[in-house]
């Protein structure tokens, strides 16, 4: 089993993936996304099981989604 949590922001009428948490391919990681779609970097998510990974992703989004969005908007300019 794997999952993707993808924060998609609607900015000026366009939808952009801003941050993505992906557990597929045996390498759980967080993608910090750039406006053109590719990832700025992949950060490993080191956790024991899928349940912990869900919590890490949701907790990170709860704490930082506004910052992720503001930063992405700056990159768009």
Partner 1 sequence: MAQVRKRQVEQRLEEVRAMMHTMIDNPSLLDAFPEEVFVPLNVELSSLFAPARLELLRNISKHRLTVGEMAHAVHRKIPAVSRDLKLLEKYGLVRFHNEGRRKYPELVRHFVVLPLDGPTGHGKVSQHAMVA
Residues that bind partner 1 (CB under 8 A): 1-10, 15, 24, 50-51, 54-55, 58, 61-62, 65-66, 69
CA 71 to chain centre: 13
Alpha-carbon gap, residue 68 to 2, rounded angstroms: 24
Q: How far is the CB of 19 from partner 1 (least distance, A)?
A: 10
Q: How far is CA 42 from the centre of its chain?
A: 10
Query: Cβ of residue 30: shortest distance to partner 1, in angstroms?
Result: 14
Closest to partner 1 by CB, 8 or 76: 8
């Amino acid at each position: 089993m794997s999952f993707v949590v993808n924060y998609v922001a609607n900015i000026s009428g366009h939808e952009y993936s801003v941050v993505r948490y992906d557990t597929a391919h045996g390498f759980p990681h967080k993608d910090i996304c750039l406006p053109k779609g590719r990832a700025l970097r992949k950060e490993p998510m080191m956790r024991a099981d899928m349940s912990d990974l869900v919590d890490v992703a949701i907790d990170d989004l709860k704490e930082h989604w506004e910052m992720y969005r503001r930063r992405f908007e700056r990159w768009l300019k």
